[in-house]
Amino acid sequence: MNERPAIKPYVIGLDLGGTNSVFGIVDSRGEIKATTAIKTQGFDNVEDYVAAAVEALQIIIDQVGGIGYIKSMGIGAPNANYYKGTIEHAPNIVWGKGIVPLADMFSKALGIPVAMTNDANAAAIGEMAYGVARGLKNFIVITLGTGVGSGIVVNGQLLYGHDGFAGELGHVTMVREGGRQCGCGRTGCLETYCSATGVARTAREILSKSDKPSSLRELDPEKITSLDVSIAAEKGDEVANEIFRFTGKMLGEACADFAAFSSPEAFIFFGGLVKAGELIMKPIREAYDAHVLNFMKGKAQFLVSGLDGSSAAVLGASAIGWDINPNE
């Protein structure tokens, strides 16, 4: 190692979610020194959002000694364009319509460089910097949350594609005829089956198609969540287990196609659904082994994110910040 003493030892990480915007000041070992948060949605326009963010940030910036100790800022956000530092047509953010130059706005307000990427890419960079992907150069992070996101790392670098929007694996088509309607306007996308919302849809479908007894029948079908399914499955509920087998099988088959693309050494799963543990991971691995090219069998690891859920996204975003002029 050839490290000289860092003059600016911290970066700011911002996990910009649909509900909350969580900020952390992070050192180079991935320790979060201070955090704060504001609501993402309580603002009519992006100017008010940035002003409120900077006001909240000022307090924790002062806690670590002032802006002079902050090297840069990294943002993980939905619909983020890495090349341009913009949020583009984010359907779930009130002030995110059109093209919003958020990185530039924070950079001007704080006087430091700011980089931005989408939340799944931030998760991938976070895993590489601080998580289970340390030392790996070819892997795919799949985030199983409200949607299905992905961050693809190839030869140690995040895959951005020509326009910064590569890695939309939640929107590969898994069911070509009669697939579920997706929020993207198309049908049959992986996300419609394997997101938390997709799992709830599967639950309603399976419950309505059979008479098998299940504790899930005690719930209002329209209000079943993936967490309900997870709790029932852990108690041995057969229908709940069938729901996870269906979900895992589709994820495993999708990963077999992803392997034909980038031949990763690991798939890393991240997000709420992963809390189901082996209930979901086992059918993923089994479907993968049954569907991947023969000569690739047994080569890829299936890992679960090792980062603490609440701080992982902030760490991932902060890692984007370290990537700005890394030699400075």
Contacts of its own copies in 117-146 (CB under 8 A): 137-138
- Which member of 64, 94, 109, 166 binds its own copies (CB under 8 A)? 166
Q: Which is nearer to its own copies, 16 or 174 (CB)?
A: 174
Told to check if 169 binds its own copies by CB under 8 A, we report yes
- Which member of 17, 70, 171, 242 binds its own copies (CB under 8 A)? 171
Told to check if 323 binds its own copies by CB under 8 A, we report no
Q: Judging by DSSP bridges, how do beta strands 148-154 and 139-144 pair with one another?
A: antiparallel
Told to check if 167 binds its own copies by CB under 8 A, we report yes
Using alpha carbons, select from 264, 250, 16 the residue that is nearest to residue 148. 250
- Which member of 1, 4, 44, 162 binds its own copies (CB under 8 A)? 162
Contact region for its own copies (CB under 8 A) — 19-27, 57-65, 105-113, 172-180?
172-180
- Taking phi over 0 as left and psi of -120 to 50 as alpha, with beta for the rest, 210 belongs to beta
Told to check if 212 binds its own copies by CB under 8 A, we report no
- Which member of 51, 160, 241, 286 binds its own copies (CB under 8 A)? 160
Q: Which residue reads 């990763």 in tokens?
A: 264
Told to check if 6 binds its own copies by CB under 8 A, we report no
Evaluate whether 158 touches 282 at the Cβ level (below 8 Å). Answer: no
Query: Which pairs from 91-99 meet CB under 8 Å and 24+ separation?
Result: 91/183, 92/18, 93/18, 93/40, 93/41, 94/41, 94/43, 94/44, 95/43, 95/44, 95/45, 95/46, 95/48, 95/49, 96/46
For residue 85, give the 3-state DSSP assignment.
coil
Q: Which residues bind its own copies (CB under 8 A)?
A: 88-89, 137-138, 152, 154-155, 157, 159-169, 171-176, 184-186, 253, 256-258, 260-265, 291, 293-296, 299
